[in-house]
Chain A
Amino acid sequence: MAHRRHENYPTPFLLVVAVAGWLLPGAGYFLLGQKKRAIIIFVTITLTLCTGLYIGSIGVIDFEGPSALYVKAAQIMNPPIVLILGYHTIGRLLFNIALESQDDLDSDVLSDGLRQEFRKKGVPLGQDATISIGQKANEWLIHSNNRSYIIKEEWNKLKETNELNVYTAYPVHGWPNEIGQIYTMTSGLLNLLCIVNAIYLAHLRGTESAGG
């Protein structure tokens, strides 16, 4: 069956449908005038993504972490909000502490000196605060008052010396991490399915059968 492209459905329209579908789940269908389909897809994908983030916290979106590449690739197919979350979960620099605190970090309990360093920066640690070794070398994780901080020993080019930088952290492990990742990956892959299908529908509308 031969097909001929309509002039009122130019190729860039397919691109617009794809980008709209990625920016907002179901928006591709909305542009094609299929509002019911668009609403169903928007609600379902958004709920799936939010459920994943609720179960595993925003820490499941970890583009710099040790997660497998296919996890990150699937998650990135979600709306761009995951990029914002990914930026935050990488960790924002809060402050730095004295390099002498490194000896305290290697101990199992939080020393008074380390507590004082945090208090000076306006982040008092609770009595139930815990410290553990991070995933990489020269990294430590402090958990206090339902918040987590990661301390990294890094080279400061300007001062030409090592320093201990404290970043925000959203650590998640075990079952919540796995379930959260599965949910966020699935919502991303379902969004990809919808984008591809919306492009296909737009393509079908842009063609008409000729001679038959």
Chain B
Amino acid sequence: MSLIAACIMASFTAPENIGTTAQSMLWLLPLATAIAVIYKATKVQTITADKFTKEALVLFGSIIVFIIVTALALHALAWLITE
């Protein structure tokens, strides 16, 4: 096994150091992208680059907006309860 291959394999045997910070929320972006792409890949009748990209982007945006709205609502609720 080459050194590069060994290094790549090794990077999958130890977890990354991710703290409970606001930045760690950014990990939801790749996940939302994957969900939007796969969902649209199963739903679009014929796949063309521009149509597929547009539809996937709209769904991605919808997911993110919904998450932000939900987060704001929960934050407001928590503020009302604790204040």
Is A78 interfacial (CB-CB < 8 Å)?
Answer: no
What's the least CB distance linking B57 to chain A, in Å? 14
Establish whether residues A146 and B14, one from each chain, have CB atoms under 8 Å apart when the complex forms. yes
Cβ of A174 to closest chain B Cβ, rounded Å: 8
User: Of residues 1 to 40 in B, which have CB atoms within 8 Å of A's CB atoms?
Assistant: 10-20, 24, 27, 30-31, 34-35, 37-39
Check B34–A55 contact: CB distance below 8 A.
no
User: How far does the Cβ of A37 sit from chain B's closest Cβ, in whole Å?
Assistant: 5
User: A102 within 8 Å of B by Cβ?
Assistant: no
Given known pairs A176-B18, A197-B42, the reply for A54 and B12 (CB within 8 Å) is: yes
Residues of B within 8 A of A40 (CB): 37-38, 41, 47, 52
Q: Please tell me if the beta carbons of B34 and A44 are within 8 angstroms of each other in the complex.
A: yes
A183 is contacted by which of B12, B15, B24, B31 (Cβ under 8 Å)? Answer: B31
| Beta-carbon contact of B39 and A37 below 8 Å | no
Residues in chain A near residue B34, CB distance under 8 A = 44-45, 47-48, 186-187, 190
Shortest Cβ distance from A48 into B: residue:
B34
Binds B, one of A11-19, A56-64, A157-165: A56-64
Query: A179 touches which one: B27, B37, B47 (CB < 8 A)?
Result: B27
How many interface contacts (CB-CB < 8 Å) are there between A and B?
76
Instruction: Choose from B11, B39, B42 the contact partner of A54 (Cβ within 8 Å).
Output: B11
Distance of B71 from chain A, by nearest CB (Å): 16
A57 to B14, CA, bound (A): 5
Contact A48 B30 (CB under 8 A): yes
Q: Looking at the assembled complex, report how far the CB atom of A143 sits from the nearest CB atom of chain B, in whole angstroms.
A: 10
Asked if B12 and A175 make an inter-chain contact with CB atoms under 8 angstroms apart, the answer reads no
Mask of A177-189 contacts with B, CB within 8 angstroms, 1/0:
1011011001100
User: Who on chain A is nearest to B56 by CB?
Assistant: A40
Decide: A175 and B37 in contact? CB cutoff 8 A: no
Q: Determine if A149 is an interface residue (Cβ-Cβ < 8 Å).
A: no
Within 8 A of B (CB), among A38-86: 40-41, 44-45, 47-48, 51, 53-59
Instruction: Given contact pairs A41-B41, A175-B18, A179-B18, enumerate 4 new A-B contacts (beta carbons under 8 Å).
Output: A41-B42, A44-B38, A193-B38, A194-B41
Please list the 9 inter-chain residue pairs (A to B) with the smallest Cβ-Cβ separation, ordered nearest first: A176-B15, A197-B42, A48-B34, A172-B15, A57-B15, A190-B38, A36-B47, A40-B41, A175-B18
